[in-house]
Structure 1
Amino acid sequence: MLRQSQTSHRVAAVAVSLVLAGGAAACGPKDAADRSGAAPGAAGGAPQKGGTLTVLNSEPQSDFDPARLYTSGGGNVPSLVFRTLTTRNREDGAAGTKVVPDLATDTGRPNADATEWTYTLKDGLAYEDGTPITTADIKYGIERSFAAELSGGAPYLRDWLVGGESYEGPYKDGGKGLDSILVPDAKTIVFKLRKPEGEFPFVATQTQFAPVPKAKDTGVKYEEHPLSSGPYKVVKNENDGEHLTLERNEKWDPKTDEERKAYPDRIDVRSGLDAAVINQRLSTSSGADAAAITTDTNLGPAELAQIGDSAEKNELAGRVGTGHFGYVNYLAFNPKVAPFDNPKVRQAISYAINRTSVVNAAGGSALAEPATTFLPEQKAFGHTPYDHFPAGKAGDPAKAKELLKEAGFPDGLSITLTHSTAQNRQTSPEVATAVQQALAAAGITVKLEGLENNAFNEKRWDAKNTPGFFLSRWGADWPSGGPFLAPIFDGRQIVTNGTNYNHAQLNDPAVNAEIDEIAKLTDLAEAAKRWGALDKKIGEQALDVPLFHPVYKRLVGKDVKNVVISDWTGVLDISQVSVK
């Protein structure tokens, strides 16, 4: 998740935990052109309208207010109620990484230097009560997301909009709005930015861009019955999203919405369930569970072993969808702490890593894909293959020892690896132990420092107390190299009095300048190439050791049809599902 301001610090841990709820990762096809996640054995036949779709989740769909929701959290249930200026393309695999129009007629029209973006609304847009949607509603919806009592959403606009850094929302100063959001008429909206942002269309997919009519705003209570602009409306919200019931919004016009299919008549979201219970219910598929899915719970190694992998011979295997989300798990160095201030020590550790044992610790070869690049292996991110410190499948302890000798440690050295004690197969004790054993073969003694997950996150993102060596992970809010590389390696984003994501505290003028140059590009294909080249260049400094890129394996009920899993979210797209 890209974090650019101190106001977003609490969001980070929450969004990460929601994205990885359930925790299991799975490797998909090696061929990037064959990364569709559709479950081949899901119920056959053409999808039809009608029926009730049940959603079984671990995490509650809490804070159901477009200002407070974080796009990457809580699956994609919010997209059924809240439409935005743009949205993700609802297709399988790589095709799903594209941004497309939603409420707007296009993905936005930039000025010459991408510091100003203009959008025009489609005709025929209306809320669930029949009132027309206007650009004033979108402007107000964005402005209320700046209010402290409605915090929790993505932080980009606070950093990007002119005046956004000091704006406190419309509930103060007599309802003052943001001058950098202009609405010359009911169908036109213009955004003025502090700096060029060629990827603004991606940010316009965030729920903060959902329209909210000022006359219907009830502040913190709005989540109880938000006004729908999408195909479904909220008819019940119990225990802050623990039980959410959605029914058709009869005022939604499918002619204005090419992305959402909206097949079921009713969607029943049940949350707060144990992951094992969810997977058991989906596996058994009895009663209403036959038409059930999950948007946040993965299958684990033991469950996958029982299911098997042959969809032709095993009906259950045919109901497993594979998703690829932009994420990297890695070893992080803090070069401000000895001996990690010595590049040769960092290189030695890079050579010593046994990725086979790391993959096994993450659940086995069926559940993790070894990585040597920071960027995920997807074209949209600009992935450029490289392996600056080739260790093979099992590490190269001899090369590591040679580098340690050159670094002044001919007899090896002792270091500490900080990790989380949470059993999430990401920064877990099992992965830490695999690293410990691999480095031992190179003469490096590793002491493991396991911390409770909240304490771990607090320590690893604290610039003043960042450990010298720790397990970490990073995911992108949209499929681009920008949300990956900028927060981790842009020196201007170093935060010394709060949460800091630039763990290496790298402040290289050349890297900063290249990030700015890429941000000016509205040609996303060209931008992707530049992000990939920058990733490769930064990788030469051994500021981290990529370990694996996780994906997802999730089960659907036996009556579920039209499973679509894009590389944008890595999870089943609820807007495409049919149960008849």
Structure 2
Amino acid sequence: MAQESVLRVVPYADLRNLDPVWTTAMITQHHAYMIYDTLFGLDEQLMPQPQMVGEYSVSDDGLTYTFTLRDGMTFHDGAPVTTADVVASIKRWWARDNAGGSLAEVTASLEAVDDKTFTLVLSEPYGLVLDTFASLTGPFIMPAAVAATDPFEQVESHIGSGPFVFNEEEWVPGNKVVYDKFEGYVPRDEPPSGASGGKVVKVDRVEWSYLPDPGTAMAALINDEVDYWEAPPVDLVPVLEGDPNITVGVQNPFGLIVILRPNHLYPPFDKKEARQALAYMVDETEYMTAMVGDPKYWQVCVSLMMCGTPGETSAGGAEIMTSSDMAKAKELMDSVYQGETVVVMHPTDHPSGPAALITAAKLRELGVNVELQAMDWATLTSRRASKNEPTEGGWSIFHTRTGLGSASPVSHLGVAAGENAWFGWPANEKIEELRAAWGAEADPDKRAEIMDALHEEMMDYAPFVMLGQYQMPSGWRSNVSGVVKGSILGFWNIEKQ
């Protein structure tokens, strides 16, 4: 009997929350792509490609989409994947997801025709249907009985139809996550490309070991105790590059943006002057230097959308974030601040941790009463869902990273400002109107005009603040090959010699 092949991974964070609908945490997205499959996936060129869908067609008027599932798909418990599962999963997902919510607003009906075919009928033309189904945040297809769970509650069953099975018995939060190869998975007959293509599993088992201390993680990689380290600090990269048994590369070439998110429900950030003060106090170079270090991995981005994408624009004076204007920030803050305690959540085990320290120091310089509360990232991702007052278990500010979803105002977590708003809960009708108009507009020039108008409104309203954009190097043992580049981290196609 052949020896079991085990890929040993150090992920960037601890996995505590398992439901990708309930939370948008990137570590939960990684988990979701392991155990669930998606209808479409973004390839290396960011084009949506069929994944669970075998064939699809669009009516001449652009209002009716007909999708047929490909053959051979089963859930981990052996049950066949049907369109009843798909429809239930989509409806649960779009109740929480920004891009999904925008699609739901223009949907007249979503129905299963038979076990293999379903239709989506729109109330008006919408050019982002396939892009939305290929969104990095789902929909992830679950059994219909599981998808019946309230979208504001976490699912209790973790059965998917993806390439790996979650080994719940061996899951130790704060320590270890185990995935076993799903022998019943039928990959697409094409090369892998980003989150799309043939997801062929070439190892028997993947083990995530959470090692929050970088020195411990580095020693484990060098000593061949682990095979893959997702996010080594940039200042340790030269040490890894000097080891002939280790390869250093950028798995996600598109990079990540870092944002500061204020809570719009409570003072002082329920007033736009206080939120604008945050934008004036930010110097992206300061934040990126503290978080990333080596400038070859980061850039100043004066757009609230991801730089290097069609949504990039500096309309509305986004250049203010290239340098700090503390005098203007203090003037704005003093106009509305009444001495409230501002709770800044500080994740001690996450790359955004240094950003929290800088923000707390700058707010104190403005005369704000700051309470910096240390916690791990898993706690932060749970607590940010709380709408309690900041001093009663809630929060005022957190920092996070987001990926390619931030290239589009429809999917950008920080942009939605209404019923579908992400944690922080901004409310702005004009932003929502412009988001919808951008999604519905097919002409690139007109879409750019709408993007400029949206950006101007966001710079005034300040739903969040951009802190910069960077790429994250990873390190893996030289006997590991087949790492798929893209905006999500999957462990299909990887071989270990």
TM-score by length of 2: 0.71
Partner in structure 2 of residue 422 of structure 1: 347
Partner of 2:233: 300
Deviation at 1:137, TM superposition (A): 4.4
How far is the alpha carbon of 1:452 from its aligned partner?
4.7
* CA shift for structure 1 position 488: 3.6
Contact (CA 8 Å) 1:263, 1:577: kept in 2 or not?
yes
Give the aligned partner of residue 252 of structure 1.
Answer: 186
1:100 Cα offset (Å): 0.9
Where does residue 514 of structure 1 map in the other structure? 434
Residue type at the aligned position of 1:375: M
CA distance in structure 1 between the aligned counterparts of 2:167 and 2:385, rounded to whole angstroms: 41
Q: Does 1:579 align with 2:496?
A: yes
Q: Is the 8 A contact 1:86 1:107 kept in 2?
A: no
Aligned residue-pair number = 469
Match for 1:356: what amino acid?
Answer: T
Could you tell me which residue of structure 2 aligns to residue 20 of structure 1?
A: none
The reply on whether 1:448 has 2:370 as its aligned counterpart is yes
| Deviation at residue 449 of structure 1 after TM alignment | 2.8
Pairwise CA distance, 1:541: 1.6
> 1:107 offset after TM fit, Å?
6.7
Alpha-carbon distance in 2 for matches of 1:303, 1:417: 34
Counterpart amino acid of residue 426 in structure 1: S
**Alpha-carbon distance in structure 1 between the residues aligned to 2:116 and 2:338:** 65
**Contact 2:40 / 2:52 at 8 angstroms: preserved in 1?**
yes
Report the 3-state secondary structure (helix = DSSP H, G, I; strand = E; otherwise coil) of the residue aligned with 1:448.
Answer: strand
> Is the contact made by 2:202 and 2:493 (CA closer than 8 Å) also made in structure 1?
no
SS in 2 for 1:449: strand
SS in 1 for 2:232: coil
Greater Rg by CA: 1
Distance of 1:239 and 1:315 partners within structure 2: 33
Q: How does 1:48-67 map to 2 (within 5 A)?
A: 51-57=5-11
- 1:159-189: CA deviations, max 9, x gaps? 865899xxxxxxxxxxxxxx94422233311
Identity rate, percent: 14
CA contact 1:432–1:471 (8 Å) conserved in 2: no
The whole-number CA distance in structure 1 between the counterparts of 2:276 and 2:157 is 52
Per the alignment, residue 79 of structure 1 pairs with 33
Task: Rate the CA distance shift 1:542–1:138 in 2: closer, same or farther, 3 A.
Answer: closer
1:305-316 to 2 correspondences below 5 Å: 306-307=239-240, 315=244
**2:456 counterpart (532, 537, 546):** 537
Check the 8 A contact 2:272/2:461 in 1, yes or no.
Answer: no
> Aligned partners of 1:162, 1:539: CA distance in 2, in Å?
22
Please say if residues 98 and 411 of structure 2, whose CA atoms lie closer than 8 Å, have aligned partners that are also in contact. Answer: no
Deviations 1:466-515 (A, max 9, x none): 999845446368354234557645345569xxx6421xx4343xx33222
Q: Assess, with a 3 A threshold, how the Cα gap between structure 1 residues 252 and 493 changes in structure 2: closer, same or farther.
A: closer
Distance 1:339 1:119 in 2: 44
The aligned residue for residue 168 of structure 1 is none
Distance change in 2, residues 1:293/1:541 (3 Å) = same
What is the CA–CA distance in structure 1 between the aligned matches of 2:416 and 2:95, rounded to whole Å?
24
Which of 408, 420, 441 is residue 481 of structure 1 equivalent to?
Answer: 408
Task: Check 1:575–1:430 CA distance in 2 against 1; reply closer, same or farther (3 A cut).
Answer: same
User: Aligned AA for 1:451?
Assistant: Q
C-alpha displacement of 1:85:
1.7
State the AA in 1 paired with 2:141.
A
1:190 shift after superposition: 1.3
* Native 8 Å contact 1:86 1:204 kept in 2: yes
Letter in 2 for 1:379: T
Conserved in 2, the CA contact under 8 Å of 1:264 and 1:578? Answer: yes
Q: Which amino acid aligns with 1:249?
A: E
CA RMSD between the two structures: 5.2
Structure 2: which amino acid aligns with 1:293?
Y
Shift of 1:56: 3.5
Whether 2:66 is the aligned partner of 1:118: answer yes
Post-superposition shift, 1:231? Answer: 4.3
> 2:54: which partner in 1?
105
Cα distance in 2, alignment partners of residues 240 and 527 from structure 1? 51
Distance 1:117 1:417 in 2: 48
Report the 3-state secondary structure (helix = DSSP H, G, I; strand = E; otherwise coil) of the residue aligned with 1:533.
Answer: helix
- Alpha-carbon distance in 2 for matches of 1:459, 1:71: 11
Whether the aligned pair in 1 keeps the contact of 2:300 and 2:468 (CA below 8 Å) is yes
> Which residue is 1:559 aligned to?
479
Letter in 2 for 1:210: I
Where does residue 170 of structure 2 map in the other structure? 238
Q: Return the offset for 1:516.
A: 1.9
Evaluate the alpha carbon distance shift between residue 303 and residue 253 of structure 1 in structure 2; reply closer, same or farther with a 3 A threshold.
closer
Q: Which amino acid aligns with 1:431?
A: I
Q: Which has the higher contact order (CA 8 A, sep 6+)?
A: 1
Report deviation, 1:101: 0.3
Q: Which runs of 5+ in 1 are unaligned?
A: 1-49, 165-178
Structure 2 SS opposite 1:303: helix
Other structure's SS at 1:384 match: coil
Per the alignment, do residues 253 and 408 of structure 1 end up closer, same or farther by CA in structure 2, a change over 3 Å counting? Answer: closer
Shift of 1:456: 10
Shift of 1:557: 2.0
Instruction: Output one character per residue of 1:75-99: Cα deviation in whole Å (capped at 9) or x when no partner.
Output: 535435433321232x3xxx2x322
Is the Cα contact below 8 Å between 1:82 and 1:210 reproduced in 2?
A: yes
CA offsets per residue over residues 129-156 of structure 1, 9 Å max, x none?
887644344345557x58xxxx998587
SS for the counterpart of 1:359 is: helix
Q: Supply the distance in 2 between the matched residues of 1:213 and 1:468 (Cα, whole angstroms).
A: 35
For residues 424 and 9 of structure 2, the distance between their equivalents in structure 1, rounded to whole angstroms, comes to 35
Tell me how far apart the structure 1 counterparts of residues 156 and 142 of structure 2 sit (CA, whole Å): 16
CA contact (8 A) 2:246 2:478 kept: no
- The answer for unaligned runs of 5 or more in structure 2 is 149-153
**Corresponding residue number in structure 2 for 1:362:** 291
| Shift in CA distance, 486/158, structure 1 to aligned 2, threshold 3 Å | closer
Verify the 8 A CA contact 2:306 2:406 in the aligned structure 1. no
> Could you tell me whether the CA contact under 8 Å between 1:237 and 1:243 is conserved in 2?
no
Counterpart contact for 1:163–1:180, Cα < 8 Å: no
C-alpha displacement at 1:102, in angstroms?
0.8
How far apart, in 1, do the equivalents of 2:386 and 2:307 lie?
25
Aligned residue in 1 for 2:417: 490
